[in-house]
């Protein structure tokens, strides 16, 4: 499956914490079985998605951020979760039965104007990477997303050596090289490009050491916030 992705380089770790409006930890749910996602915490409400128990590329257990809880008719426990795919920002309610819950302290923030990716653990910055982001004609979508799965790509394959496939989809490209226009954070194998410019198809590219570091630590369900951010630095390097 083809992903639409961007590039970044490693920077110095910072001692600063998360913005005040961002949680330090995130509740997650792992699906043990396929689930229907509903518009409301009621079994008879409209379906917004049908979720497989495994992810489409790697077959990892489907893991989703939990943003709310409810008890419906008959005492059924429901979870309000973020969903992958179109439209961006889609959410739905799934039955808690057939799931298990966990928590992650990892979180990724992508500052589009500064072309930087900041990685947090338990509310503290642990790494900062310079990034390539979407060019004006194919911008990186903004919003609250999550890592759908972490993909190890074959040697020599474009976007390698790893890609974090996100729940986000391009607002411009309905498909990309046979895939669904999925946005990702990935390497630069077969792509090249200098870090610090807005020149991608919408994804986020990383230098090899940076994506290697992320792929070893970031699992499915990790929250990713992509936002406009502050003005880019004038001395940013050119990206191809």
CATH class of 26-104: mainly beta
The fourth-level CATH superfamily of domain 4-14+106-227 is L,D-transpeptidase catalytic domain-like (2.40.440.10)
Mean pLDDT in residue range 153-173:
78
Cα 87 from chain centroid?
14
Residue 115 to residue 134: CA distance in whole angstroms: 10
> With contact defined as beta carbons under 8 Å apart, do 195 and 239 qualify?
yes
Identify the sign of the CA torsion 144, 223, 204, 173: negative
Mean pLDDT in residue range 50-72:
95
Pick the more confident residue, 75 or 240: 75
pLDDT in tens, 187-199: 875 666 678 888 8
What does the pLDDT read at residue 62?
97
What SS3 class is residue 37?
strand
Q: How many residues does the chain have?
A: 240
Query: Which segments of the chain belong to CATH 2.30.30.40?
Result: 26-104
What does the pLDDT read at residue 14?
39
Spatial CA neighbour of 19 closest among 232, 235, 230: 230
pLDDT in tens, 102-111: 999 999 999 9
Spatial CA neighbour of 62 closest among 102, 33, 26: 33
Residue 170 to residue 88: CA distance in whole angstroms: 9
pLDDT score of 4 more than 50:
no
Residue 89 to residue 175: CA distance in whole angstroms: 18
What does the pLDDT read at residue 191?
67
**pLDDT level of residue 171 (50, 70, 90 thresholds):** confident
**pLDDT level of residue 19 (50, 70, 90 thresholds):** confident
Cα 72 from chain centroid?
30
pLDDT in tens, 206-234: 888 998 999 999 999 999 999 988 654 44
Tell me which range, 42-51, 130-139, 153-162, 199-208, is most confidently predicted by mean pLDDT. 42-51
Mean pLDDT in residue range 174-190:
69
- Quote the DSSP letter at residue 203: -
Across 185-218, b (16+ Cβ under 10 Å) vs e yields bbbbbebebbbbbbbbbbbbbbbeebbebbbeeb
pLDDT score of 87 more than 60:
yes
Largest CA distance in the chain: 61
What does the pLDDT read at residue 153?
78
Cα 44 from chain centroid?
30
**pLDDT level of residue 58 (50, 70, 90 thresholds):** very high
Mean pLDDT in residue range 13-42:
84
Q: Per mean pLDDT, which range of 16-30, 67-81, 89-103, 222-236 is the poorest?
A: 222-236
């Amino acid at each position: 499956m083809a992903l639409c992705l961007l590039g970044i380089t490693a920077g110095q770790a910072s001692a600063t914490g998360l913005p005040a409006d961002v949680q330090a930890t995130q509740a997650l749910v792992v699906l043990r079985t396929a689930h229907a996602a509903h518009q409301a915490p009621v079994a008879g409400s409209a379906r917004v998605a049908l979720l497989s128990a495994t992810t489409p590329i790697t077959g990892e257990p489907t893991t989703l951020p939990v943003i709310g809880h409810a008890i419906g008719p008959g005492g059924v426990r429901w979870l309000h979760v973020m969903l992958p795919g179109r439209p961006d920002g889609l959410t739905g309610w799934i039955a808690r039965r057939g799931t298990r819950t966990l928590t992650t302290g990892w979180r990724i923030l992508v500052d589009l104007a500064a072309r930087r990716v900041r990685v947090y653990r338990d509310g503290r910055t642990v790494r900062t990477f310079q990034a390539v982001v979407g060019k004006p004609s194919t911008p990186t979508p903004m919003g609250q997303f999550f890592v759908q799965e972490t993909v190890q790509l074959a040697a020599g394959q474009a976007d390698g050596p790893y890609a974090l496939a996100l729940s986000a989809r391009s607002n411009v490209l309905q498909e990309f090289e046979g895939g669904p226009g999925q946005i990702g954070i990935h390497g630069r194998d077969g792509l090249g490009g200098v870090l610090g410019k807005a020149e991608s198809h919408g994804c986020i590219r990383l230098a090899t050491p940076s994506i290697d570091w992320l792929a070893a630590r970031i699992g499915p369900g990790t929250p990713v916030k992509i936002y406009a951010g502050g003005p880019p630095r004038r001395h940013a390097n050119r990206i191809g």
